[in-house]
Structure 1
Amino acid sequence: MRKPLTLLALVLALGGCQKSAPDVEWQSHSGPDAQRYSTLADIDRGNVGRLGLAFAHDLETDRGQEATPIMVGGVLYVVSAYDVVEALDARDGHRLWRYDPDVRAATARGCCGPVSRGVAVADGKVYLGAIDGRLIALDARSGQVLWQTQTVDQADPLAVNYTITGAPRVVKDMVLIGNGGAEFGARGYVSAYDRSSGRLRWRFYTVPPKPGRVDHAASDPVMARAAQTWAGQWWRYGGGGTVWDAIEYDPKSDLIYIGTGNGSPWNHGMRSAGQGDNLFLSSIVALRADTGRYVWHYQEVPGDSWDYTATQNMVMARLTINGTPRDVLMQAPKNGYFYVLDRRTGQFLSGKPFMPMNWSRGIDPHSGRPDIDPQARYYQTGQARFQFPSSGGAHNWPPMAFSPQTGLVYIPAQDVGMVYAPANAEKQVVGAYTSGVAMAGGGHMDAAATRALYSGMKGYLIAWDPVAQRERWRVKQVAPFNGGVLATGGHLVFAGNTAGQLQAFDDTTGRVLWSFPAQTGVLAPPITYRLQGTQYVAVMAGWGGGWPLTGGVMALQAGKTIGPNRLLVFALDGKAKLPPLVAPSGPPPRAIIDVAPAINAQYARGDGLYGRFCLRCHGAGAVSAGAYPDLRQSPLVMSDAFPQIVLNGALAPRGMPSFAGQLTRADLDAIRIYLARRSYEDLAGAPQK
C-alpha cells in the first residue's frame, strides 16, 4: 500500500510540475511600436555582470554585418553580407538550413557594400530583399524558395543601379520593401506585395515622374502637387528619395510611415536648378496601409543638398506633451535634429538639435520648417564650406531605441563634419556615383590638418528626453559610427561599438555595467528573447557596411578592429569562449613605389576622381580600415592588370565594378598618381609636403 505524501514531498512534486517562464520571441525588425524595447527583465542591472557567451556562430563573409536577427518558434533567422540567410536553433546555434541567393556579381553596384539589415518572418515564410532587387519568400522550415519577384523595372536603363539593403516589413497580408541607389540615378519608391503569392498590390513613388508620364501607381493623385516643388530636368538624374530603410506600421491609425532619402544628385542646383522644396525628399510620409495612398508628410530638409536623409529608424510612443497625451512618431535623422510629430496628422510638435550643426539656424515652431543658413547652399555661393553634420549624419542607420520605463530615447550619435563644394556638372555621369559635390580623397591635406580634422570627430551614446527635448546623459565612444541599440525591462541599454565591444549600460545613468570583447566592430543592433526559461541577448558582429564612406583615416580612431564575423548570443552564466584572435599574417606594409611622385595637376585631379569613384569602398585618404583592399599597398595599382580591373571588370564577379564608360585611361592614370603619392607618404617614411 502506497504511503501518503509528506508535506515536503508534495511541495517537491508540485514544484517539479511548475512550468518555466513563457517564451518571448523577437518577431519583427523593430519590435512592438518600433521601439527596439523588450519587457524582459531576467537580465537586469543587478546581475548583468554574470552575462556570458552562450554560443557563437561563424558567418562566411568578411563584409559588414548590419542585420537584426528574428527569433520565432525557437529559431533564429539571420542574414549576413551577400544576403545569405541562415536558420539556427536559438538554444545552441546549430544550423538548420542555409540559403544563398548568389548575388556576388550584383554587389559591384550600390553605395555601401553588400550588406543587409535583416529579413521578415510571418506565416511560415522568411522574406528577403536581395541586393539585386529581388524580393524572395523562403519556406521557414526548409529554406526552399516559395516565390520571388523582381521589384525593379528591368526595362529601365538604370535598373542595374537599384539595390535593396533594407529589411522587408510585414504589414497585414502584405510584405513591403523599398530600395536604394539615389547616388546612381534611382527614383525612390516603396512597394507592397501579397505575402502568399508575391503579386504587387501597390506602389508609392516618392518623387514625380518626367512631365507627361503617368505611373499608374498609388502615388498618382499626389504627384501633381509634388511636381510643383521641382524645377529643371530632374528626371534626367532619377530624382532620388529612395526608401532604403525606415518603414513602420501603426495598427492604431492603420498608417504606414516611410522615411525617404536624399536627392539624386545631392546638389540642389544640379538636380532642380536650385529651386523648390523637392517633395518628397528627406521626408516622413504617411500612407494608407491597404491602398498606399498619401495621407500626410513632413519634410525635414526642403531642397536637400547634403545627403540629409530621413531614412533613419522611427519610433512610436504615447507621450504627454503640454499636459495632453499624444500618439507620436519620433526620429533622429542625419540632419542633427530630434523630431516629435503627431503620428495621426503629421503635425510638427517639436524639434531640437541633439548634435552640433551649422546648416540650419533653428526650426519655426509653428510651421516646422527649418531656417537654412544661406551659406550652406554651396552651389549658390560657389564656395566650399566645412559643415556639420557630414553626409554620414549625426545619426545614421544603426537604430536608436526607446524605453517606456524611463521615457528616454537612446541614440548612437556622432559629431562629424565635412567639406561641401559644387562639382563640375559636365563631369557628372548619370549611372555613376553622381552627387554633384566635389568629393576629394582626403589626401590633399598635410599631416597636421589631417590630425586636426580626424581628432575632432567624436561618437556618443546619448540618452534623450523627447518631451523636454534635452539630453539626460551621454557616453563618449572611442570613434564615431557605433552600433544600434536595444533597451530592456531590466533597466539596461545594450549597444556595440567600432572598437569591438558589446556593452550594457544603466538606462538612467549611462554607467557601463558590462562589456564583451567581440574581436570585431559591432554596428548591428542587438535583440533579446526568452526560450525555455532562459533570456538571451543576440547580435551580429562584423565591422563595415557604410563605414568606408565615412571612414578611411577616421576609422583608425577605433583601431584595426576587423575580425571574424559572427552571430554572438549571450545568457546569464554563459560559459562559451571565442577562439583566440589571430592577427592576419603577411608581409609588412610597403609602398607601391620607391620614389616620391611629383605633386602636379594630375595628382589633384586624381584626388577628386578617387573621392568620387573609389572612396566609398577603399576609404578616405586611400586608407582602408575595412574589408576592402588597401590600395596604398596593392601592387596591382602600378601593374598592367589595373586597367583590366577598373575599366574592363576583371574582378566584377568578386564585387569590384567595372567603370567602363565612366572613367577614361587618362582618368585612371590620374588616380594612379594620387594613389602612388598617398602610398609613398604613408608607407615609405617620407615627410608629407
Structure 2
Amino acid sequence: MMRPLTPGWTVLVVSKLIRTVRWAKQWWYAICLVVFGGLSSHAGLCETTEPGLKDFYSSGWGIDSANRRYQGPGRTSISADNIDRLELKWVYQLEQMTPRSYPLVSEDTIFFGDSGRGLVALDRETGCTRWTSPVEGVEISTAISPARMPDGRDVLIFGVRQSGVFALDATNGAHIWHYSFTEDHPIPMYSGSPLVDGNNVFVPISSTEMGLTMLPWYGCCTTSGAMGALDLSTGAKKWYTPTISDPPKKTGRHWLFVERYGPSGAPVWGAPTLDSKRGVVYFGTGQNYSHPTSATSDSIFAVDTSDGMVRWVMQATANDAYSMGCGIPGHPLCPDPVGPDHDFGAPPILSTLRDGRELLFAGQKSGDVHALDPETGAHVWRKRIGRGGLLGGVHFGMAVHPEHDLVFVPISDRETGQEKRQPAPGLHALEMASGETRWSRIIQSRGCEGCSGGISSGIIASRDLVFFGDLDGRLWALDVNTGETRWQHDSWQQYDVVNGDQAQKPDEEGRGYAEGGAFDAHGPMLADDLLIVASGYGNFGQRGGNALLVFQIKSDDTP
C-alpha cells in the first residue's frame, strides 16, 4: 500500500535536509572566523578596522521603533535647498544580484548585509572595508539594528532569511549568538526585520512552505506565521505567538496519496512596530496558503510585549487563500476558491497627529491604506488607491511626515491580469486625519519590455523631500508639499567600484564594476549628508543588480 505524503512527513524531510546543510555551513563559517579572524581578505581594507559606535542614524527598519521612516533636520542635512549638489560618492559591488539588506549608519561606518560575503562594515568616506563577518545562510534579508547589551557591549542584530536571527559584536563582527525558532516552527523564514527594545528582540516569522507549494507532491500546508521574542543578552526565547492558533487538520488529498491540510499561512513579512505606552507591538500578516481560511490572515495584530498575548486583531480581507502554485495552470495546490493575495507586507506606522491623536497606519497589497485606533484596532478611515493585486498596492513600506500630517503611500500596481481597476503606480500623499489625497504622482514606465514604473520598495521622508526608487531603476526625490521632482538618478548603468580587486564582474580592461537594476525591498536610507541605497532586485522578472550606491552633498567649497 502506498503511504500518503502527509505534511508532517514532507516537512520532516525538508527540515532535516535544511538542518543538515546548516550544520555543514556552521563548520565552514567557524573555520572562516578562525582563519580570517572575522576580517575580509580582499583588497581595500581600512587602516582603522574598529568602527565608531557613538551615533547611529536609525534603530532599525523604520528609522525609529514606530516605523515612521522619517529623518528630521537633525539627522539629515539633505534638503530641497542643496539637493542639486547631491552626487555619487562611491559604489560597492555586492555579491548577489538581489540584495535584501538595509544599511545601518554610524558616525563613520556603513554596516550592510552583503549576502554571500557576510555582514560588512564599510568606511563612510572611502568605502574601504573595516571588517567582514561571514554568517550562516545565503541572504541577510533585513535591516541591521544597533543595540547595547547589559554588559555594555555594542551589538548588531539582523536576520538571515533561511537561518534565523544573529547578534554580532559591532566592534569586530565576532559572533555572539544565533537563534532560529525551529522548536516551534519546522521551516521558518526570516524576511521581516527584528525590532530591539531594551533587552527584547522581537522577531517576525514567515514560512518556507509558501515556496514549497510549487511542488505538486508536497502535502500542503501546516505552518503559520508568528511573532517571537528573544532575550538580547543570550538569544534565548522568551515567547512565541503563532498567527493561527487552530491546529491544522486534514482537508483532503489529491493524486490519491498527497494529503492536504489547513488552515495555514498568515505569514509575517514586515518589521513589528513598537507602542511603548500601551506595551504592545503591531504587525501585519499575509494570506492563507490553504483552506479553510483563518480570521487572522491579511490582518493587523496587536500583541503584548511581555508575553505575546494577543490584544486585538483587525482582519481587512477575509477568505484570502493563495499559494505560489497558483502561478502554474492546473496546479493541485492552488486553493479553490483562490483569493486575491492581499497581504499586509509593509510594517504598520504609529504616528501622532498635530492635534494630539495617535493613529496606526497600515498599507495593503490591495492598495488600501488603513488608519486604525491603536487602542482597539477600529477603523478611523480606509482608502483604496489604484488597482492592487498580486504585485500591486503597497509592498515594502510607507512613510509619514509628522510635521505636515501626511502619509506617503508607494503603489506598485504591476500588471498581472488579476484586477480590472485603474492602476495608480507611483507615490500618493494622504492627509493623516482623513485619508484625503493631498497630491498624487504617477510614475510612468520607461516603456521597455518588462518595465514598470511602480514603487515596490520602502521609501523615506525628510523635512521637505521624500525619496524612493522605482521598479525601472530610477531614484527620485520629490517635494513633500507638491510631489514635484527635485532630483533624479538613473541606476541602469555600470559603476566603477571601491572593491574592484575582488569584484566578480570585470570590464574589458579587467577592472571590477557593479550593475544597477530595479529598486525594490527596503529602499533608501538618509544619514547626515548621505543617501544610501542598493540597486538591483532580480525576482518577479525584474532587473537584477549588485550596486550599493552612496551619494553625498557636494560642499560649496569643493572645486
Query: Displacement of 1:93 after TM fit?
Result: 2.4
* 1:333 to 2:368 alignment: no
Query: Displacement of 1:529 after TM fit?
Result: 1.8
Q: Compare the two structures and name the one with the higher helix fraction.
A: 1
Matches within 5 A, 1:190-229: 190-210=227-247
CA distance in 2, matches of 1:133, 1:575: 48
Match of 1:249 in 2: 274
1:92-134: per-residue Cα shift (whole Å, max 9, x none)?
A: 3221111222424xxxxxxxxx561322221111122122232
Matches within 5 A, 1:8-87: 25-32=57-64, 33-40=66-73, 42-62=77-97, 64-81=98-115, 84-87=118-121
Find the residue that maps to 1:38 and give its secondary structure.
Answer: coil
TM-score, reference length from structure 2: 0.71
Q: CA RMSD in A?
A: 3.0
Query: Displacement of 1:285 after TM fit?
Result: 0.8
Is the CA contact 2:111–2:120 (under 8 Å) kept in the aligned structure 1? yes
Residue in structure 1 matching 2:179, options 131, 149, 152: 149
Query: Displacement of 1:344 after TM fit?
Result: 2.0
Structure 1 residues 574 and 310: alpha-carbon distance in aligned structure 2, compared to 1, 3 A threshold: farther
* 1:537 to 2:537 alignment: no
CA distance in 2, matches of 1:209, 1:84: 38
Is the CA contact 2:248–2:264 (under 8 Å) kept in the aligned structure 1? no
Match of 1:463 in 2: 429
CA distance in 1, matches of 2:268, 2:55: 34
Match of 1:495 in 2: 468
Find the residue that maps to 1:415 and give its secondary structure.
Answer: coil
* Identity value in percent: 23
Q: Compare the two structures and name the one with the higher strand fraction.
A: 2
* 1:129 to 2:159 alignment: yes
Matches within 5 A, 1:627-666: none
Structure 1 residues 117 and 209: alpha-carbon distance in aligned structure 2, compared to 1, 3 A threshold: same
CA distance in 2, matches of 1:527, 1:238: 38
Residue type at the aligned position of 2:226: Y
Find the residue that maps to 2:277 and give its secondary structure.
Answer: coil
CA distance in 1, matches of 2:487, 2:416: 34
Structure 1 residues 406 and 251: alpha-carbon distance in aligned structure 2, compared to 1, 3 A threshold: same
Is the CA contact 1:402–1:410 (under 8 Å) kept in the aligned structure 2? yes
Residue type at the aligned position of 2:61: H
CA distance in 1, matches of 2:317, 2:349: 19
Find the residue that maps to 2:357 and give its secondary structure.
Answer: strand
Match of 1:402 in 2: 400
Structure 1 residues 253 and 465: alpha-carbon distance in aligned structure 2, compared to 1, 3 A threshold: same
Find the residue that maps to 1:516 and give its secondary structure.
Answer: strand
Residue type at the aligned position of 2:547: N
Match of 2:478 in 1: 505
Residue in structure 2 matching 1:280, options 296, 307, 317: 296
Residue type at the aligned position of 2:72: T
CA distance in 2, matches of 1:171, 1:177: 11
Structure 1 residues 420 and 484: alpha-carbon distance in aligned structure 2, compared to 1, 3 A threshold: closer
Query: Displacement of 1:235 after TM fit?
Result: 8.6
Match of 1:643 in 2: none
Structure 1 residues 98 and 473: alpha-carbon distance in aligned structure 2, compared to 1, 3 A threshold: same
CA distance in 2, matches of 1:211, 1:495: 41
Match of 2:40 in 1: none
Residue type at the aligned position of 2:550: L
Is the CA contact 2:363–2:370 (under 8 Å) kept in the aligned structure 1? yes
Residue type at the aligned position of 2:198: K
CA radius of gyration, larger in: 1
Is the CA contact 1:239–1:264 (under 8 Å) kept in the aligned structure 2? yes
Residue type at the aligned position of 1:118: A
Structure 1 residues 315 and 209: alpha-carbon distance in aligned structure 2, compared to 1, 3 A threshold: same
1:564-588: per-residue Cα shift (whole Å, max 9, x none)?
A: 4224232334999xxxxxxxxxxxx
Residue type at the aligned position of 2:434: A
Query: Displacement of 1:314 after TM fit?
Result: 1.3
Matches within 5 A, 1:43-442: 43-62=78-97, 64-81=98-115, 84-104=118-138, 114=139, 116-123=141-148, 124-153=154-183, 159-160=186-187, 162-181=188-207, 183=210, 184=212, 185=221, 186-210=223-247, 236-237=261-262, 239-265=264-290, 271-272=291-292, 278-304=294-320, 305-319=339-353, 325-356=356-387, 389-397=388-396, 399-416=397-414, 418=416
Structure 1 residues 573 and 237: alpha-carbon distance in aligned structure 2, compared to 1, 3 A threshold: farther
Find the residue that maps to 1:52 and give its secondary structure.
Answer: strand
Residue in structure 2 matching 1:522, options 513, 519, 522: 519
1:309-367: per-residue Cα shift (whole Å, max 9, x none)?
A: 123121111226xxx642110011112211000112222111121224xxxxxxxxxxx
1:440-464: per-residue Cα shift (whole Å, max 9, x none)?
A: xxxxxxxxxxxxx9xx866212222
Structure 1 residues 202 and 163: alpha-carbon distance in aligned structure 2, compared to 1, 3 A threshold: same
Query: Displacement of 1:476 after TM fit?
Result: 2.2
1:391-419: per-residue Cα shift (whole Å, max 9, x none)?
A: 2231112x211111222122220334545
Is the CA contact 2:295–2:315 (under 8 Å) kept in the aligned structure 1? yes
Residue type at the aligned position of 1:74: D
Structure 1 residues 196 and 325: alpha-carbon distance in aligned structure 2, compared to 1, 3 A threshold: same
Is the CA contact 2:195–2:271 (under 8 Å) kept in the aligned structure 1? no
Residue type at the aligned position of 1:284: I
Match of 1:634 in 2: none
Is the CA contact 1:83–1:130 (under 8 Å) kept in the aligned structure 2? no
